Structure 1
Amino acid sequence: MYQPRKRGYRKDNATLRWSLPDRVFFACGACHILAYAFLERWGTPGMQALWIRPAAGQTGNHVFVDGGDWVFDYHGYANRPQFLAHVWRGARRRWPGWDATLVPLPRDVLISEQKSRGYDGLWLREPGQFLHDAMPRANAYLDRFRAPAVRTAR
């Protein structure tokens, strides 16, 4: 949940949205594309995409990858409990009384507008519905990060 501070920014302006810096682009409406690209590149059965679904009548959607004790989004990797506390604290500072639930999303929902509409309150753009295809941009952004650490059983 990040709000761009660019003068005249509007989500329906495809050119302005595409021109946002990568971090802001993947925070403001393309977080699901980044989550999909991450899962395609490094996903394991223990990882899933989670949607922060705001309570009825509230705003503040976000999709991130849950790896168990860590998460990944446009910030990179973070400790899961600290990340969730940070999100809730920040949202409640901006919107007093804010609350949300975590909803697991199947991987194919992340890149399908039609399938995303099967979730009340969710509407995701497909990679090709941006000014340009967002998938190559997501993959290039992921190049900045290392693969997640894989735990081995003892």
Structure 2
Amino acid sequence: MAVTAAGAFRRTPGERADQRLAWNRADQPFFAAGACHILAWVCRDTYPDRPIGLAGLRFAGQRQVFHVYATWADWAFDHAGWNPEADLLAANQEFERRPLDRIAITGDLATFCRAQHHRTPHQYFGDPLARARDYVNRHPPPWA
């Protein structure tokens, strides 16, 4: 799957206001904008025998993370599957046309959600954890 900037899939005002409408998007848009953090944590948890990290993108100088993804070696996993992290960073930088910061994310999902004002799994219309597990399993990792 080709690398595409997360911002290309931003939710509409209607999708932001209506969880059912947001939930009914196809998987790639759903995990690009609105549930990327869920996908990243599930990816890390799917491979406990690998040193999977978590990273986030934010606009330079800002505190709020707008995209979260999993990392392994020089690879990144997000809504576009596994791709070289450099390609993911370049695609997002080109799309946003403003400086971005990449940050390492530590801690658990609940703490991240509280700090970044992201939805926790129980705040979605359906079960995003099961949906994310299915999505991760459809994208073979680079070491496979």
TM-score when scaled to structure 2?
0.82
Alignment partner, residue 74 of structure 1: 79
User: Bigger CA drift: 77-86 or 16-25?
Assistant: 77-86
What amino acid does structure 2 have at the position aligned with 1:146?
P
Q: Distance in 2 between matches of 1:37 and 1:12?
A: 25
State the percentage of identical aligned residues: 27
What do you get for the CA RMSD once the two structures are aligned?
2.5
Larger Rg: 1
Higher RCO structure, 1 or 2 (CA under 8 Å, sep 6+):
2
Alignment partner, residue 146 of structure 1: 140
Q: Distance in 2 between matches of 1:100 and 1:6?
A: 20
Q: Distance in 2 between matches of 1:6 and 1:32?
A: 15
Q: Classify the secondary structure of the residue corresponding to 2:132.
A: helix
User: Greater helix percent: which structure?
Assistant: 2
- Quote the offset at 1:5 in angstroms: 7.7
Alignment partner, residue 128 of structure 1: 122
Q: Is 1:29 matched with 2:23?
A: no
Distance change (3 Å), C-alpha of 1:9 and 1:39: same
TM-score when scaled to structure 1?
0.77
- Quote the offset at 1:55 in angstroms: 2.7
Q: Is 1:62 matched with 2:76?
A: no
Q: Is 1:89 matched with 2:94?
A: yes
Give the counterpart of 1:18 among 8, 17, 23.
Answer: 23
Number of residues paired by the alignment? Answer: 139
Q: Is 1:38 matched with 2:43?
A: yes
Q: Distance in 1 between matches of 2:62 and 2:103?
A: 17
Q: Distance in 2 between matches of 1:69 and 1:4?
A: 24
